[in-house]
Structure 1
Amino acid sequence: MTRTTARLAGALVAGTLVLAGCSGDDRPRSSMDGSMMGGSERAPSTGQPEDGATFNDVDVTFARDMVPHHRQAIGMARLAEGRAADPRVLDLADRIEAAQEPEIGILTGLLAEWGAGGGGGHMGGGMGHPGDDPGGMMSPEDMHGLMAASGAEFDRLFLEQMIDHHSGAVRMAETVLSDGRNTELSGLAETIRDAQTAEIAEMEQLLTELG
């Protein structure tokens, strides 16, 4: 069993317990859940690692940026309950939350292992190009619009916004796969890229069917 598989198995168990504890009617669905799993408070890594290190700055940037990216996706997914009209949209939202919750645990674990900290706030620029690519993150206006929508309007907005969000994650994953060094993170990045590419295709098909 690889380290990533072992981490994901453990994180899935933890994620299942969290989801089970949040499955009642009092579950918060109207926030981006920014308080989940704050990052380590150790000093951030700077510069390239020494020769022989198992990670580099690209790995650290990806992990730090993907944590708030996943948290926003979970916040978006939680808005679906009580707002979505099509059960397929609600099912997709549930699957997104179930997949990304344990991945946050892996990312924050790696950051702590590296002494890199971070991952607790909002994303900055894109991977290596500050300000050029926000990674598909939704603006506050986007989130407010999604929160205010319901029924068929919510379904359309959710799918359109999540396609953009997923597309950003795929770009981020491809960058770390190209330029990163850590093998465990690369395995997770491949999972993110492949799963979210498949979900983009699913959402595009749903949008076509919903008109």
Structure 2
Amino acid sequence: MFLKQMIHHHQMAVEMGELATKNTKRAELNQLGKQIISAQKAEIEKMRGWLKSWHAETAAMAQMPGMEKMMQEMDTMKAAKDADFDKMFLEHMTHHHQGAVEMAKLVDGRSDRAELKQLAGNIIKDQTKEIEQMKSWEKSWFGSAH
């Protein structure tokens, strides 16, 4: 279940990263968007491989709680430009990463698979670092971090 949820969660982050590369004029957000796309696509492929090799079903999963709200936020972000987009992206991606970190923290006590625990640890480390960076930018650029 974790893999399916995290794959879907990562796919949403990739979409948001793609929006950042198109809708921002800030080099920092453009680079972050590219970094998120690259890292999360690689993790998606790794997780899909594990699902296949561990003989788990790969059919579409049920929607995660909160996904409908995230989809609405994505639609709003698609229409935003410049500073409005930048602020919205920082807020939504920070929140999105916080959700991924919380999901990853649950793996430790629930799985015996070392590779899954390593992935979860990497998600926690990498996305926590990105959260801190995004909050710093938000405070610097907009005067506050949520």
**Structure 2 length-normalised TM:** 0.90
Following the alignment from structure 1 to structure 2, what is the Cα–Cα distance between the partners of residues 98 and 173? 19
Following the alignment from structure 2 to structure 1, what is the Cα–Cα distance between the partners of residues 101 and 82? 28
Q: Could you list the per-position Cα deviations for residues 9-47 of structure 1 after superposition, in whole angstroms to 9, with x for gaps in the alignment?
A: xxxxxxxxxxxxxxxxxxxxxxxxxxxxxxxxxxxxxxx
Q: 1:204 aligns with which of 127, 135, 139?
A: 135
Following the alignment from structure 1 to structure 2, what is the Cα–Cα distance between the partners of residues 163 and 145? 16
Query: Aligned letter for 2:110?
Result: D
Following the alignment from structure 2 to structure 1, what is the Cα–Cα distance between the partners of residues 97 and 59? 18
**Corresponding position of 1:89:** 29
Q: Could you list the per-position Cα deviations for residues 64-92 of structure 1 after superposition, in whole angstroms to 9, with x for gaps in the alignment?
A: 10011100100010011231021111111
Q: 2:93 aligns with which of 152, 156, 162?
A: 162
Work out whether residues 24 and 85 of structure 2, in 8 Å CA contact, stay in contact via their aligned partners in 1: yes
Unpaired segments ≥5 residues, structure 1: 1-60, 126-133
Q: Could you list the per-position Cα deviations for residues 119-170 of structure 1 after superposition, in whole angstroms to 9, with x for gaps in the alignment?
A: 7456424xxxxxxxx4x88522201110000101100000100001000000
**Structure having greater relative contact order (Cα 8 Å, sep ≥ 6):** 1
% identical equivalent positions: 32
Following the alignment from structure 1 to structure 2, what is the Cα–Cα distance between the partners of residues 83 and 143? 12
- Are 1:124 and 2:55 counterparts? no
* Equivalent residue pairs, number: 142
Name which one, 1 or 2, has greater alpha-carbon Rg: 1
**Corresponding position of 1:75:** 15
Work out whether residues 14 and 40 of structure 2, in 8 Å CA contact, stay in contact via their aligned partners in 1: yes
Q: 1:183 aligns with which of 92, 110, 114?
A: 114
**Structure 1 length-normalised TM:** 0.63
Following the alignment from structure 2 to structure 1, what is the Cα–Cα distance between the partners of residues 88 and 16? 11
Q: 1:108 to 1:118 in 2, by over 3 A?
A: same
Q: 1:89 to 1:179 in 2, by over 3 A?
A: same
Task: Give the CA RMSD over aligned residues.
Answer: 1.7
Give the 4+ runs in structure 1 shifted more than 4 A.
119-122
Unpaired segments ≥5 residues, structure 2: none
1 or 2, which has the higher helix percentage?
Answer: 2
